[in-house]
Amino acid sequence: MRTVQSLSVTIPTELTKKLDIIQKKEMKSCSAIITEALRQYIELAEYRKLQKELSAVARAKGIITPADINKVIHEAR
């Protein structure tokens, strides 16, 4: 079973120029740089989704300010 898949994408010329510079500076392949960038993008998107969900839960419980957060932490200890 293959662990990688070939993908064709269209990227603005300005970004391809910057990618080329990064590739030469870091001595990494375009695939490695784009894979790393995509992993970071997905991780950030998942973090933001979780943050949004947990913020809604916190608001529903009246936890809004940093003082509210500290109060909950100290009560739990």
- Report the candidate in 19, 48, 55, 14 with the shortest Cα–Cα distance to residue 34: 19
77 vs 19, residue with greater confidence: 19
Residues 20 and 35: their CA atoms lie apart, in Å, by 15
The model's pLDDT over 2-41, given as tens digits with 9 standing for 90+, comes to: 898 999 999 999 999 999 999 999 999 999 999 999 999 9
* Two structure tokens written together for 76: 């739990």
pLDDT of residue 77: 86
Q: Show me where the domains of the chain are located.
A: 13-76
At 36, the amino acid letter reads: E
